[in-house]
Structure 1
């Protein structure tokens, strides 16, 4: 005997809870259930932003917001006109949760704790009588007449409307493929670069505030802060490159070269500045007089890599050494030999093909009454709260479309 619900949401994460709460609030007469495969849900919310939950990003113009989505940029423009950052802020404020904007645009609860968001979702789900079923791992989905039969580890459930909000879940992608959907094969997105290079080996923690990075031999490029880590490079300049280059870098098997411009000047301009420094700081030791706001520890390594020794003064260096230093500053080449997951926030590119989703409703074009929210479809974003904003937007539009 199957358990009957009007609407079932598969996935007890951010998108799943947001969709369920909005559906139940709008339609209290309907029975709504969330199926969560684990013993507790909202785990990605819990670890987001280092445990503070990066709820969204303070970008309030849809055409600007979409530029943070390597996959989904075109498709999300319409949805963001329906529900975006300001609506997210208002939704949480109506439930007693104030958000704050940090210097880089990321938004967090004032409490600085992801538990605030988790408690909000759990309380709202309880208030609106959403049935949250834990340890319900989905094995298969079958379409029977106008209903869905969902086989789970705890038995069979059926419903008239089904929402899939499982994020990047290969098992569910296989189930959806069996139903006739096309799945774009997942590849990692949002990762750091593994680099073994003596210039950065002994300076983990150094941040170059504003650099340009490009993948040699491709059109992939990005800009922003760059962090040197104990295994290579990270921070927005690298993470953006990994997100927008997710498919191309996977094809290169994460073995490629990057060119870094640490000062965002071209070689010739840099060289002219260095010639000026040669006269202006003639008696100073080069290694001790970092220029262009390059961090001291990084400057020292770039100077050494330019075949300038530790005691040489500006007045003493020759043309070749100046050119070497200009090259290190403006077009330093690093060999990438692999990738590492960015913190604990594993993001993938891949999922339900965007051509098979109606972005006015987030309903499947292949299977009536089947809806999607969040990263189960082939949408992903750079770091900074953008993946959550996609989840809130999709889940809200689903809640308005599903009944």
Structure 2
């Protein structure tokens, strides 16, 4: 049996961040990472299309927590301990400069996730963190004050364990056997599958600022909307998927959404169209795109309003005007299924938050058992927020482990 002071289960972002902070500040502790795969940091590698969306340029804790459908209340205190600015400083001290993009997402200046991976691997070597790959954990038990970790390559013992495995059903099962409650995992970050003539054959079209609501619920969001080969995506849809994860799962991902493409009321839009009918009387409706909409989307909505391509503004009747106003402000789409958002699979679910002390990220049920990252029932919208949760939790775990 191999003995270590601290065993970290999971070689992802949270695992490495916790290990490096522990080993750097307390070099006498023997820290080991057990990673089930042949390599770690796989989620870091694919994040942000291979650029790694490290965090988000939101520097006020009360505003930052609004991006977490699950964990909003619990993360307020932790974000006062370790925040976005602390993340930026941590990486800059290790030679990794970050940049802010227009939408607030932050990436390494290199535009490569390999920069973050190399930083972690170099720091782990520098502080003598042992990283054991292909070590899948099969069992976790505790006798007196000592944890025993059974892996595919033998037994390990330790006084302190950090679980940083992300959304891992096998680890959740082991934690249930230890006495923890697991909130049932469901997908949290996904796109909507929609087959509809109004968005057919126009993939890549972006409506810059829309409002989207799920009918028969209180769920709604706003922001850019991307039309894809399979339906709809981009922040307005992804926010809905995150905040509606549990409700949409109950509906088996079959529901209706209402899209307001121009963020105006039906009545206000109709009044504008009546003015356009006068001002653009001799021009074809199809060819005179309005409301700053993409031309191809305007064409689709015009045709869906029973207006022919050669119909002039002067010739459209009351019914057609109302139909166009409806398509622009309250278009109904049938959603039939979901798709994973790129490679970034996020789930709602994990260790019940009532069973965790968020001053330390230690289990309330099992002394010296700590959690960091998405193994907890915490998840966020897209934009670097899930990583910020990982950095914050892992840092606080490290600070509390080295106190003893």
Structure 2 matches for 1:141-220, cutoff 5 A? 141-220=140-219
* 1:128 aligned residue: 127
SS at 2:286 equivalent = helix
SS at 1:160 equivalent = strand
* 1:127, distance to aligned residue in structure 2 (A): 0.4
Distance 2:314 2:104 in 1: 44
Distance 1:285 1:91 in 2: 58
Distance 1:300 1:111 in 2: 40
* 1:70, distance to aligned residue in structure 2 (A): 0.4
SS at 1:199 equivalent = coil
* 2:361 aligned residue: 362
* 1:95, distance to aligned residue in structure 2 (A): 0.4
* 1:258 aligned residue: 257
* 1:85 aligned residue: 84
SS at 1:167 equivalent = coil
Distance 1:120 1:147 in 2: 32
* 2:340 aligned residue: 341
* 1:245 aligned residue: 244
* 1:25 aligned residue: 24
Structure 2 matches for 1:3-402, cutoff 5 A? 3-402=2-401
Q: What's the TM-score once normalised by structure 2's chain length? A: 0.99
Distance 1:192 1:333 in 2: 17
Distance 1:268 1:106 in 2: 36
* 1:101, distance to aligned residue in structure 2 (A): 0.4
Cα displacement string for residues 30-49 of structure 1 (whole angstroms, at most 9, x for unaligned residues): 10000000111000000000
Cα displacement string for residues 54-96 of structure 1 (whole angstroms, at most 9, x for unaligned residues): 0000000000000000000000000000001000000000001
Root-mean-square deviation (CA, aligned residues, Å) is 0.4
Distance 1:332 1:194 in 2: 16
Distance 1:304 1:52 in 2: 40
Distance 2:287 2:51 in 1: 39
Paired residue total: 402
* 1:402, distance to aligned residue in structure 2 (A): 1.4
Distance 2:281 2:115 in 1: 58
SS at 1:321 equivalent = helix
Cα displacement string for residues 334-370 of structure 1 (whole angstroms, at most 9, x for unaligned residues): 0000000000010000000000010000000010000
Q: What's the TM-score once normalised by structure 1's chain length? A: 0.99
SS at 1:288 equivalent = coil
| Unaligned runs of at least 5 residues, structure 1 | none
Superposition misfits of 4+ residues, deviation over 4 angstroms:
none
Cα displacement string for residues 134-178 of structure 1 (whole angstroms, at most 9, x for unaligned residues): 110000100110010000000000100000000000000000001
* 1:202, distance to aligned residue in structure 2 (A): 1.1
Distance 1:177 1:327 in 2: 50
Distance 1:14 1:283 in 2: 60
Cα displacement string for residues 376-400 of structure 1 (whole angstroms, at most 9, x for unaligned residues): 0000000000000000000000000
